[in-house]
Structure 1
Amino acid sequence: MSKLFLEAVKARRTFYGLSKEIVVPADRIKEIVGEAVNHTPSAFNSQSSRVVVLFGEQSDKLWNMTKETLRKIVPADNFAATEERINGFANGYGTILFFEDQAVVKGLQEQFASYADNFPIWSNQSSGMLQHVIWTALVAEGLGASLQHYNPLIDAEVAQTWQLPAEWKLIAQMPFGKPTSVPGDKAFMPHSDRVKFF
């Protein structure tokens, strides 16, 4: 079992080439996200992570919004590359938005004042674990995905468009779909530079 788990972890890569072809039904995506949300750990079992899954036209709306936001700040002579990248995300079947509920974080800071400075850090760690769990699970189903960070540029419009609570802080965006390209080779630093055993 542990070998299968590590194989799934190794298979999780950044896929930029995506298509809208449905290779995994929406109900299965919902099941994966639900299970991941339930079983990914959080500090003090705070369950501060929040997720929004956008399919089809709703996902397109997100990436069009992002493109138009960037058009206002990226110099025109550099915008073609930006537009190409955003269009690549929009080519996917859907997008998962990851949030952390700041009301939960603030409540924990008030309840456990000794650890107040740590709760935002622990909240982000929990979000990172959830992102990794969902990303790995999607790839195991035959989907490709990547992790993007266009926040805080799009935060207000995202909250307004999908009528989300003000306390939900956008952390990351994960476009997903059928892979249309293969990730390149990945270089690794020597373990001796990153890991110590005693």
Structure 2
Amino acid sequence: MNQDYLNLAKQRRSIYALGKEVSLSDQEIVDLVEPVIAESPTPFNNQTTRAVFLFGQAHDQLWDIVIERLKTEVPTAEAYAKTVAKLNSFKAGHGTILYFTDMAIVHQMEQDFALYKDNFYDWSEQAQGIMTMGVWTTLANNGIGASLQHYNPLIDEAVAQAFNIPENWRLRAEMPFGSIVAPAGTKEYMDAADRFKVFN
């Protein structure tokens, strides 16, 4: 039984202690990730997934946007200080990938295939999950740590303005990545009997 994929998937963990010292250049990271996204399946091959790569000042700018935006959402100064510390751990990384769904395609599919119109948004979310798992695992296989964050929709408008995002692209997640300063903790698994059923 070949378990190569399982062994790769086990490398993928949420890494929160990030640094900037990665072994690949920015362009090499883009060249590594773009084909993973292109090869990730989407319903009807409609290719709704989009990605924006942020490095250097653009990466810093994103997390400054999040820090500023959450200032009005966090209830106390103490809680905000903890939030800023967490956000600065993402900013300490090498870069961020922003993941989007092209809603123009989703809506077009809803019109073109009316029988399945209630499914296309859900299917686009499944495509997001498949894509991000592939990218995350690929980064991990190259010694790059990452995590998946969701500060959307709070930051959607500011991100669109800052990075000239098309109006029909809907932000779905942010993936800060970088060198691994500290590993992830031990992963716990629920009992298999509570999770799986097999019928013969």
- The TM-score normalised by the length of structure 1 is 0.97
Identify the residue that residue 99 of structure 1 maps to in structure 2.
Answer: 100
The 3-state SS of whatever aligns with 1:180 is: strand
**Residue aligning to 1:36:** 36
C-alpha separation in 2, matches of 1:91 and 1:3: 34
Q: What's 1:128 paired with?
A: 129
Distance 2:86 2:29 in 1: 24
Counterpart in the other structure of 1:87: 88
Work out the CA distance in 1 between the residues paired with 2:25 and 2:128.
25
RMSD: 1.1
**Count of equivalent residues:** 198
Distance 2:106 2:85 in 1: 37
Instruction: Give secondary structure in 1 for the equivalent of 2:99.
Output: strand
SS at match of 1:53: strand
Secondary structure of the structure 2 residue equivalent to 1:117: coil
- The aligned runs of 1:164-179 (5 Å cut-off) are 164-179=165-180
For 2:23, the aligned partner's letter is V
Aligned counterparts of 1:117 and 1:36: Cα–Cα separation in 2: 28
Q: What is the letter of the counterpart of residue 171 of structure 1?
A: R
1:1-198 matches, within 5 Å, as 2-75=2-75, 76-198=77-199
Runs of 4+ residues deviating >6 angstroms: none
C-alpha distance in structure 2 between counterparts of 1:39 and 1:172, whole Å = 19
Question: For residues 42 and 118 of structure 2, what CA distance do their matches in structure 1 show?
Answer: 16
**More off after superposition, 20-29 vs 139-148:** 20-29
C-alpha displacement at 1:40, in angstroms? 0.1
Distance 1:32 1:122 in 2: 25
TM-superposition CA deviations, 1:43-81 (whole Å, max 9, x none) = 000000000010111100000110000012212231111
Q: 1:2-26 deviations in whole A, cap 9, x for unaligned?
A: 4222111011000000011132221
Q: What is the rounded CA distance, in whole Å, between the counterparts of 2:31 and 2:194 in structure 1?
A: 39
CA distance in 2, matches of 1:77, 1:13: 29
Identity of aligned residues (%): 43
Which amino acid in the other structure matches residue 47 of structure 1?
Answer: Q
**TM-score of the aligned structures, taking structure 2 as reference length:** 0.96
**CA-CA distance at 1:27 after TM superposition:** 2.1
Answer whether contact 2:37 2:134 (CA < 8 A) is retained. Answer: no
- Gapped runs of 5+ residues in structure 2? none
Equivalent position amino acid for 1:20 in 2: K
In structure 2, what is the Cα distance between the partners aligned to 1:26 and 1:166? Answer: 26
Extract unaligned runs of 5+ from structure 1: none
